[in-house]
A and B are shown apart, each in its own frame.
Chain A
């Protein structure tokens, strides 16, 4: 397979392939962080995670139209405004959903799965009714599409870099919030012992709501970023849901570090296999390997305690 190529070419290809793996890693991290917060810290299975992401994507779509129509001069930076608004929109919806639905179901985690599945159907149909059944095209500022030639042979996509920077940024932000802020301390306290946390004066209800809202907000930002690399349509959220859950479970719920480690290993495995095998087989093999490892180590890569 490689006989016809010079070393320089091969080196360039492998460098770019490594980069492709890193982009995939960043995509997985962005997809999974919001879910990891909600699932890991609250034990809630949010099947509507993909729909929260798509909400962010639709907000980006609206912003792109708004800027193109009314503020064309600022179009090149609209994306940042859109991401902030995507966070707010998905976050607010998250707060509402937690208040209306999730808080009644904390004692029945499996039931949150069914209820949020219902929610995802409703959201999908809402998007379809509001934005039409077709996909919408989100125009991306020119500077974000295109590539950066590093050498003659190596080119790196700018949107890939953007996604990576965003993934690092959001991971850092989540880390700081979780381990350096008052809220983070409260969340972790509640996760360890809800009753005691309440007894020492933590407002568990509000902390839960905020956690859910922030998780959804992060999903919204991810969705917003994914308009650069993927499609925006009523059912696009479902494209992400399986991968997202696998990343979180494989990492070990409750551990954000685990989520990142698992995103890294799955993305590298998949990206390397995709290079040597056909795409479909790579996907199946990746899934099988992940499930295989989960059978041997059901608690995931990093986990604080064994679940039953």
Chain B
């Protein structure tokens, strides 16, 4: 388990190769020259000096593997490495194998910016899979825009952003939130909501959207409480009492990190049995990954609203889950963000092949309209605004740590990072 995210040694070769500054210097190490690589001469597919050789292309992986965020970001790193391995097994991109340079953001935003600059300026990576928190993305964004890098960002997030240098493979807030609220209102008859979150921008913005939707678009529904706790807070008994006092139909919880575990354990201990659905607990921040820390028995009966659950039964997903477990171990679980991270390399591959070039400008141009029919979540498509069209689903947490999918939107939900009427 210890080695699962740290096999840096395997890419030592690539780093040296890159640092050697070579374009064609290190050709022909491992790969038999495929026919297709010859069809795409390096000089043509790489006109901007990226780290592309005749048979390799180098990308960056930039996540926290130390510090508090390592808990969450580990899954993303694993998924990205799996995707890269699978793409390489299929012959790579434009006949070139993907090599990666992994950097550690160390849960520290300035470090993220520093490492992003290193990847783009020193290593000349063709694209970067990375970041998890909004803060880390905000920190690297100016770097990517200045040096014209290309980032695939996997996390569901608050929206309000649309960078030409980022593809957002997770859902933005309206995509994730609105369908779930409508569902709980229509099928469960919920009228009153208690909004709860960790104190930073994603929960606050998400709750803002939730509140606008509840108050403006849902008849007779209201918010009876809204509350934020510092990141890392571990004592929730007071707020649980407040919830008892207000008797909401729905606790809408966007608690993250270590606080999550404390919140659900204390909720259960306080005698709030979520399987009775009085109140209903609806969250957008607990994936299967988080349930591992919380313990399935402590969150049994809660609902989560996101675009992917490990229990989805389609062929793509079954293959993805078994490949993931084969690579990283049978005890692994896969959450929404992990799946979104897995999409990154595949979306990039599709865009590069459509563009016939690794050049960032051409990949960017090719990106809108890219479809993936092989996505574990089903079918996704890149919108003009660099977000993904995706379905939104509601899952009910089971004691075994998995979600049972109880609802899914009929159509793909359009991403709308700057939603009118929700500002």
Contacts and interface: CB of A to CB of B under 8 A. Distances in A.
B263 to A, nearest CB: 10
A292 interface: no
**Size range of the interface on A?**
35 or more
Interface of B is mostly: helix
B70 A17 contact: no
A160 B265 CA distance: 11
A93 B268 CA distance: 34
A41 B101 CA distance: 50
Given A5-B245, A129-B2, A232 B293 contact: yes
B413 interface: no
Contacts of B75: 134
Nearest to B107: A235
Contacts of B269: 145-147, 157-160, 228-229
A111 B258 CA distance: 30
Contact of B241 (A20, A138, A159, A280): A20
A125 interface: yes
B294 A279 contact: no
Interface-central residue, B65, B71, B227, B228, by most chain A CB under 10 Å: B71
B232 A239 contact: yes
Given A128-B70, A235-B68, A135 B268 contact: no
A19 B5 CA distance: 43
A220 interface: no
Interface string B216-237: 0000000000011110111101
A13 interface: yes
Interface string B248-281: 0000000001111110011011110000000000
Interface-central residue, B74, B199, B266, by most chain A CB under 10 Å: B266
Interface stretch (A100-108, A168-176, A270-278, A296-304): A270-278
B237 A136 contact: no
B7 to A, nearest CB: 13
Contacts of B291: 137
A206 B321 CA distance: 55
A132 interface: yes
A233 interface: yes
Contacts of A147: 269-271
Contact of A16 (B66, B229, B241, B292): B241
A230 B262 contact: yes
Nearest to B70: A133
B136 to A, nearest CB: 16
B2 A231 contact: no
Interface in B286-310: 289, 291-298
Interface in B5-54: 5
Given A13-B241, A133-B74, A235-B68, A229 B258 contact: no
A229 B239 contact: no
Given A17-B241, A147-B269, A229-B266, A135 B258 contact: yes
B228 A279 contact: yes
A149 B273 CA distance: 13
Contacts of B65: 133
A51 B242 CA distance: 32
A188 interface: no
Contacts of B258: 135, 230-231, 233, 235-236, 239
B145 interface: no
Nearest to B242: A275
B292 A24 contact: no
Interface-central residue, A136, A147, A270, by most chain B CB under 10 Å: A147
Interface in A114-149: 125, 128-140, 142, 145-147, 149
Nearest to A137: B295
Contacts of A125: 66
Contacts of B242: 275
Contacts of B241: 13, 16-17, 20, 275
A132 B271 contact: no
A136 B293 contact: yes
Interface in B350-406: 401
Contacts of B261: 135, 230-232
Given A13-B245, A128-B70, A274-B238, A157 B270 contact: yes
5 contacts: A145-B265, A145-B297, A147-B270, A231-B234, A274-B238
Given A134-B75, A146-B271, A230-B258, 6 more contacts: A130-B2, A134-B289, A145-B297, A157-B270, A275-B241, A280-B228
Q: Which 4 pairs across A and B sit closest by C-beta, in order of nearness? A: A135-B293, A147-B271, A231-B261, A20-B237
Interface of A: 5, 9, 13, 16-17, 19-20, 23-24, 27, 125, 128-140, 142, 145-147, 149, 155, 157-160, 228-236, 238-240, 270-271, 274-275, 278-280, 282-283
Interface of B: 1-2, 4-5, 65-68, 70-71, 74-75, 199, 227-230, 232-235, 237-242, 244-245, 257-262, 265-266, 268-271, 289, 291-298, 401
